[in-house]
Amino acid sequence: MEFVKTKLDGVILVKPDTFEDFRGSYTETYNKNLYFKNGIKVDFVADDYSVSSKYVLRGLHGDDKTWKLIDCKHGRFYFVVLNVVEGSPQYGEWESFTLSDTNHFQVLVPPKFANGHLALTDKIIFHYKQSEYYESKGQFTVRYDDPKFKIWWPIKNPLLSQRDEQGKYVS
């Protein structure tokens, strides 16, 4: 496994090793000892996933305390991480990644960072490990096209939920 620091402090791109032969492939997607040895000392308590159709954009979402380890179990999606930590010298900076069921990449997202994804294939399965149990209280949403962040998305008119359309948490 390769652990790559990104331009955003605390965000790490993980590239798991994949073994392939005539039967198919095998990838270990998480090994606590290996992650801890490489500086990811996060105790994950829950695994979740969402299924989306092509052109669905979910996010940008986050909260103040949850670490997330994101990967793609099916399809391919465009993934954005945005630093919204008030007072951070990197406030407003963002980075994008393409995650797929063939590259097996993972992205570690720290607390107080927003993240969102756009489905690029007919169906995607977005999977994430969380360091905290989900609570709607404390969640925030940043509108995907907020002009102050100038995030580039490979689509002009994505399919959005009410929460994402309004750019704020809607319970």
The answer to whether 62 touches 167, Cβ cutoff 8 Å, is no
Selected catalytic residue, list 30, 55, 61, 74: 61
Selected catalytic residue, list 35, 78, 128, 144: 128
Catalytic site includes residue 128? yes
Q: Tell me how far the alpha carbon of residue 77 is from its chain's centroid.
A: 10
142 closest CA partner among 55, 57, 50, 48: 57
Assigned token pair, 137 = 């209280």
H/E run at residue 50: strand 46-53
138 closest CA partner among 82, 63, 85, 73: 63
Catalytic site includes residue 61? yes
Looking up tokens 């000392």 gives 41
47 closest CA partner among 34, 19, 66, 23: 66
Query: Which sequence positions are flagged as catalytic?
Result: 61, 128
